[in-house]
């Protein structure tokens, strides 16, 4: 009698997107945010958040570099000698940062001119090396790519929140469009709207220490809502 073979279970597609993969994206946005929980990448949060446009471009750049550096590192992780792994990781990051910088320079020169120094400093961003060491070196490419996207988005959201507060109350504008001001050319005329009569541009919010206070307030709010985060960082 012929032997009956047991059905072989399919392992499914490499590019699955279940609960575990979803958490790789959502966790860094909330309870594992790279800035407010891991306390990484704080320096750029102080430097590039005077305008929402700059924060948005910086967030996109970091997200792209984090995602693809995670991907490439995970693809090569079994071939990288441990003794030189950090050098290899830095080469991957430097290559991607150079690509992003050249593309930004070609697409939007004024923004590149404002951010050129900070785009280059993405190489030293602790978020990148942290994710490569903590995740990409121990996981498969697809999950590592999602982890990079999640941490990049979490980083970007905090940058944009800080930039909105600083630009709106520091300059009375958003995305370089005037929102608040004392004359009729603005979207909201603070001299004609009684409940906005208190408003005056606060130049202190343009300074880097203001961003530190905003980050501290965000951390306080996050830990007030979730006390489990108090002792993490």
Q: Phi first, then psi: give them for residue 51, nearest 5 degrees.
A: -130, 140
* CA 134/CA 145 separation, integer angstroms: 13
Q: Which two tokens stand for residue 103?
A: 């593309």
Per-residue model confidence as pLDDT tens digits over 208-228: 888 999 999 999 999 998 888
Question: 3-class DSSP state for residue 181?
Answer: strand
pLDDT at 65: 96
Please, what's the b/e burial string for 133-142 (b: 16 or more CB within 10 A of its CB; e: otherwise)?
eebbbebebb
- Per domain, the residue ranges of the chain are 33-226
Rounded to an integer, the average pLDDT of 109-119 is 87
Answer yes or no: are the C-beta atoms of 51 and 59 closer than 8 Å: no
Does residue 67 or residue 182 have the better pLDDT? 67
8 has a pLDDT exceeding 80? no
Query: What is the number of other CB atoms lying within 10 angstroms of the CB of residue 231?
Result: 7
* CA 32/CA 162 separation, integer angstroms: 18
pLDDT at 10: 39
pLDDT at 3: 46
Average pLDDT taken over every residue of the chain: 85
Select from 158, 188, 194 the least CA-distant residue to 174. 188
Per-residue model confidence as pLDDT tens digits over 72-90: 999 999 999 989 999 999 9
Does residue 172 or residue 152 have the better pLDDT? 152
pLDDT at 27: 92
**H-only helix segments in the chain:** 19-26, 42-47, 52-76, 85-107, 109-120, 126-134, 141-171, 208-225
CA dihedral 51, 94, 29, 214 (to 10 degrees): -40
Query: What is the number of other CB atoms lying within 10 angstroms of the CB of residue 186?
Result: 16
12 has a pLDDT exceeding 70? no
100 has a pLDDT exceeding 70? yes
pLDDT at 229: 82
* CA 44/CA 55 separation, integer angstroms: 9
* CA 200/CA 204 separation, integer angstroms: 12
pLDDT at 198: 67
* CA 153/CA 49 separation, integer angstroms: 15
What are residue 180's DSSP bridge partners?
188
Per-residue model confidence as pLDDT tens digits over 196-212: 666 677 888 888 888 99
% of the chain beyond a pLDDT of 90: 49
* CA 163/CA 174 separation, integer angstroms: 9
């Amino acid at each position: 009698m012929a032997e009956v073979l047991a059905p072989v279970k399919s392992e499914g597609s490499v590019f699955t997107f279940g609960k575990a993969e979803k958490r790789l994206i959502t966790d860094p946005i909330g309870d594992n945010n790279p800035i407010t929980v891991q306390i990484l990448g704080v320096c750029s949060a102080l430097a590039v958040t005077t305008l929402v446009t700059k924060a948005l471009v910086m967030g996109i750049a970091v997200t792209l570099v984090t995602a693809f550096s995670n991907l490439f590192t995970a693809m090569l992780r079994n071939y990288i000698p441990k003794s030189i792994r950090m050098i290899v990781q830095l080469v991957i990051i430097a290559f991607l940062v150079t690509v992003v910088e050249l593309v930004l320079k070609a697409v939007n020169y004024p923004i590149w001119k404002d951010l050129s120094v900070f785009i280059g400093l993405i190489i030293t961003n602790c978020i990148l090396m942290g994710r490569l060491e903590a995740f990409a070196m121990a996981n498969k490419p697809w999950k590592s790519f999602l982890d990079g996207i999640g941490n990049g988005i979490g980083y970007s959201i905090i940058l944009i929140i800080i930039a909105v507060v600083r630009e709106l109350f520091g300059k009375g504008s958003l995305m370089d469009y005037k929102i608040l001001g004392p004359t009729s050319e603005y979207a909201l005329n603070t001299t004609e709207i009684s409940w906005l009569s208190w408003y005056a541009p606060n130049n202190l919010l343009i300074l880097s220490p203001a961003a530190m206070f905003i980050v501290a307030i965000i951390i306080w709010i996050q830990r007030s809502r979730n006390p489990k985060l108090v002792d993490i960082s």
